[in-house]
Structure 1
């Protein structure tokens, strides 16, 4: 969990994607997240978190459905949503909310 604190404490927005390897929607997100990371460059960080390997963290954040997206900025959660999302939608949220 201490590593999680280091990740979310960055001054740039951190988009977390909570996923599992066995869920089809989660699998379809791999290219979407690559596109978001490429488009944001150094303005944001994209981190994938496998809930099967990080059950304690998923429980602490009350991750109930997958995929779930969470955006942190300077250690504070500023946005959260569950369900599949396309790259343009994620980029719009990062930009429209002046998160990035």
Structure 2
């Protein structure tokens, strides 16, 4: 993903964007994948969920100081609303998203 298009996504005036920084070889990232799919489905039309492969997008990962994967960052109109590294349980992630929906 191009850096500019990533910036456009997280700065868009519409719905919040949940970004999953991951890598294909990362075990905890694989644990997080079905949780993210569940949250994306639950908040369809209210939340955009995107995945950023840190191996293919090193510049973006460095810009956001991603040192541990998975790292989840919730953006709305370019503002970082929430961030957490590691596996996040579905219930906790759902609560976080609900708190930050406009």
Normalising to structure 2: TM-score of the pair? 0.91
Q: Unaligned stretches of 5+ in structure 1? A: none
Detail structure 1 runs of 4+ shifted over 3 Å in the superposition: none
Give the 3-state SS of the residue equivalent to 1:88 in structure 2: helix
Distance 2:36 2:68 in 1: 18
Q: Does 1:7 align with 2:9?
A: yes
Equivalent in 68, 87, 90 of residue 84 of structure 1: 87
Superposed CA RMSD: 0.9
Following superposition, the deviation at residue 26 of structure 1 comes to: 0.4
Normalised by the length of structure 1, the TM-score is 0.93
SS in 2 for 1:63: coil
Q: 3-state DSSP class of the match of 1:46? A: strand
Give the total of aligned pairs: 98
C-alpha distance after superposition, 1:38-92 (max 9, x if no partner): 0001100000111000001101111011110000001111111101012221110
Q: CA deviation at 1:9?
A: 1.6
Unaligned stretches of 5+ residues in structure 2: none
Counterpart of 2:30 in structure 1 is 27
